[in-house]
């Protein structure tokens, strides 16, 4: 049985897409069969970050009722990693019904070890439908207080809705001397700190190249942190998370 994990946060730009792409590839490197889904229906960019920009069939066609999800799964150049891309044009966005996301994504559960959902930020309908398609959630936040409290709110609501909150990824640490330290963030968040990802120019460079950093520069501090995150996620098996948190 696969694990369906939403990657979520309160604000945009915290690193959800970067985390989805790098975690997917790092899990794939460790022999896990992974499907990454671009569920940020209006601001889709996971496909670009993962180096696919010419998909004919997308999640939008599936949510428009025009095609089956199985036809929107693409294999990638990354070992063991498949991708469900999204369209970027407004015509497709208008036709797609986000309420179908949970059923569509749930139907893939038995086909992969991990299904990672790149969600929109916040608590609007698009975001809620994407986040609630997961059974577990990884929150992504940055070392700023408003970002931490917004993401905490998302975590509280998802837990109430029945998701298992695995914990949070503390991304872009070290960018400013005013950064909140990881231990303080963990105290505020009240969920486990899964990984600290440093601010790393290689991450941004990799994004521009269309090759996520774990593949682009595996020895960089950012890549190493994402590889550790993958190990941690494999370790926290779904059942254990359910008992512990
Ligand atoms: N650890 C990091 N170090 C440097 N840049 C980062 C890091 N994480 C993300 N970024 C950059 O921040 C920007 C926003 O990240 P993204 O993953 O698109 O956020 P979101 O999906 O949450 O909106 C991207 O340009 C990305 O390359
Ligand atoms: Mg994004």
Residue 58 lies in a domain: no
Q: What is the pTM of this model?
A: 0.96
Residue 201: give its domain's CATH number: 3.40.50.300
**CA-based R_g, the chain, Å:** 16
Does some domain include residue 214?
Answer: yes
Measured from the CA of 11, which atom of ligand 1 is nearest?
A: 22
> Domain containing 147: what range?
3-31+100-239
217 Cβ closer than 6 Å to some ligand 1 atom: no
Ligand nearest to the CA of 122: 1
User: What is the Cα–Cα distance from 147 to 150, expressed in whole angstroms?
Assistant: 5
Q: Work out the angle at residue 121's Cα, subtended by the Cα atoms of residues 116 and 126, and round it to the nearest 5 degrees.
A: 80
Cα–Cα distance measured from residue 213 to residue 194, given in angstroms and rounded to the nearest whole number? 19
Instruction: Looking at the CA of residue 118, tell me the nearest atom of ligand 1.
Output: 21
Q: How many domains does the chain have?
A: 1
Residue 77 lies in a domain: no
For residue 196, being part of any structural domain is answered with: yes
- C-beta 207 within 6 A of ligand 1: yes
Q: Which residues contact 206 (CB under 8 A, 6 or more apart)?
A: 212, 213, 215, 216, 217
List residues, by chain if needed, whose CB lies under 5 Å from ion ligand 2.
16-17
Q: Is residue 225 part of a domain?
A: yes
Contacts of 237 (CB under 8 A, 6+ apart): none
Phi, psi of 168 (to 5 degrees): -130, 150
Q: Is 38 inside any structural domain? A: no
Tell me the ligand closest to 10's alpha carbon: 1
171 lines ligand 1 (CB under 6 A): yes
* Residue 62 in domain: no
* Beta-ladder partners of 165: 137
Q: Which atom of ligand 1 is nearest to the CA of 45?
A: 18
d(CA 98, CA 22): 25
Judge contact between 180 and 148, C-beta under 8 A. Answer: yes
With respect to residue 234, please indicate whether it lies within any of the assigned structural domains.
Answer: yes
245 residues of the chain, pLDDT tens digit each:
899 999 999 999 999 999 999 999 999 999 999 999 999 999 999 999 998 888 899 999 999 999 999 999 999 999 999 999 999 999 999 999 999 999 999 999 999 999 999 999 999 999 999 999 999 999 999 999 999 999 999 999 999 999 999 999 999 999 999 999 999 999 999 999 999 999 999 999 999 999 999 999 999 999 999 999 999 999 986 555 555 54
Per-residue pLDDT at 238? 52
């Amino acid at each position: 049985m696969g694990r369906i994990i939403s990657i979520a946060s309160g604000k945009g730009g915290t690193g959800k897409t970067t985390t989805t792409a790098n975690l997917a590839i790092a899990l794939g490197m460790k022999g896990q069969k992974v499907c990454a889904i671009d569920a940020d229906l209006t601001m889709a960019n996971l496909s670009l970050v993962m180096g696919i920009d010419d998909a004919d069939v997308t999640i939008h066609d599936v949510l428009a009722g025009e095609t089956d999800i199985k036809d929107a799964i693409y294999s990638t150049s990354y070992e063991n990693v498949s991708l469900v891309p999204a369209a970027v044009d407004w015509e497709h966005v208008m036709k797609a019904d986000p309420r179908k996301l949970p059923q569509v994504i749930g139907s893939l559960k038995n086909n992969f070890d991990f299904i990672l959902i790149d969600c929109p930020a916040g608590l609007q309908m698009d975001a809620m439908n994407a986040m609630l398609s997961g059974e577990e959630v990884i929150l992504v936040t940055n070392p700023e207080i408003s970002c931490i409290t917004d993401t905490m709110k998302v975590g509280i609501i998802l837990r109430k809705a029945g998701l298992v909150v695995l914990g949070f990824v503390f991304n872009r640490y070290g960018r400013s001397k005013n950064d909140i330290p990881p231990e303080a963030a963990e105290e505020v968040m009240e969920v486990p700190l899964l990984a600290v990802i440093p601010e790393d120019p290689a991450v941004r460079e990799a994004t521009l190249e269309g090759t996520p950093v774990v593949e682009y520069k595996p020895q960089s501090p950012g890549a190493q942190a994402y590889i550790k995150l993958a190990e941690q996620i494999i370790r926290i098996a779904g059942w254990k998370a359910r008992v512990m948190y």
